[in-house]
Amino acid sequence: MTVVSRPAFQAETDAVLARFAAEPEGPEPDPYQALLLDREELPDPALAGLCDPGTRPKDLTIDGRLQARVYHPITDAPRPVLLWLHGGGFIGGDLRDIEAATSGIAAAGNVIVVSLNYRLAPEHPYPAALHDVRDTLGWIRDHRTKLNGDGRIAVGGQSAGGALAAGACLLARDGGGVLPDRQILCYPSLDRDQDTESFRLFDGTFLSIAPGRWSSAQYFPDGELPATAVPLRAESLAGLPPALVLAAGRDPLRDDARNYAARLEADGVPARLVEYADTMHAFLNFPAVLSAGRHAIELIGSDLREAFPEPPA
């Protein structure tokens, strides 16, 4: 494991957490009504940052139903395509929330990023979002000429999006479909009702993963959960794509990232684990105020350049 530690990380995180804590609380709404209001809220550029000017963004619709935004780096040469999946607990989030990260990864990694708005629970519980990811990977393969892709494909995501990326790789390995060449899992949520050290230390630090949450019940099916919903419960991770796994040091999900990277390595899958010390969950959503987010964008870009080198002239 590589630990990235900078003097500013703790102070910046403390300031963001204090800012959120100081926001006035209104009356406690119905959870679903609160979710609908949250979905309508636009990201604050002072926190989320802006689109990287070194990309050419374009909106498109996949299979006539799924909204996506494509970020092309400033090059006419065909490039690998990275499918990216936002976080939001499987019930919220939007590609607009992470535009600084997705465009920044496209520029830093010299890759084409397809940022997807997959279907959300409770309207569309498991496995709707997972099937959207599977179908979009197939669409990327079939439309690589339209995208200016070179045939190499990666998948990545944040939190719930990281779970969907990992689940889609398991689905492709076991059932056919497009198995990406690389997976990038940022502070992924890979189990349910985890009783880990990081849960005990950090639950409620920006994020809660405590059992019995309304949001969790909206997405997960009843009964025994399949590994594609909770990838840490897979019997084997052998045969999956090489992985870059990012963790946050002050995150209840920190140990999901640590444990999954260890499981991948134990099953013969190359996995690089990078942990950002003193940093909270979702730090890639706030690169304007969290230097850990800016560092991670560059790190992911560098990782992709190494994984997908330029073809020889």
Using CA atoms, how far apart are residues 193 and 209, in angstroms rounded to an integer? 7
Residue 123 CB-density burial (10 A; 0-12 exposed, 13-18 middle, 19+ buried): exposed
Residue 10 CB-density burial (10 A; 0-12 exposed, 13-18 middle, 19+ buried): middle
The CA radius of gyration of the chain, in Å to the nearest whole number, is 18
Residue position matching structure tokens 């690589």: 144
Beta strand spans in 121-267 (E): 149-158, 182-186, 243-250
The catalytic residue among 191, 251, 255, 256 is 251
The catalytic residue among 115, 159, 198, 215 is 159
**How far is CA 192 from each of CA 212, 226, 281, rounded to the nearest angstrom?**
10, 11, 16
Structure tokens at 292: 């850990």
The catalytic residue among 72, 86, 281, 295 is 281
Q: Annotated catalytic, 72?
A: no
Q: Annotated catalytic, 159?
A: yes
SS3 271: strand
Q: Annotated catalytic, 295?
A: no
Task: State the catalytic residues.
Answer: 159, 251, 281
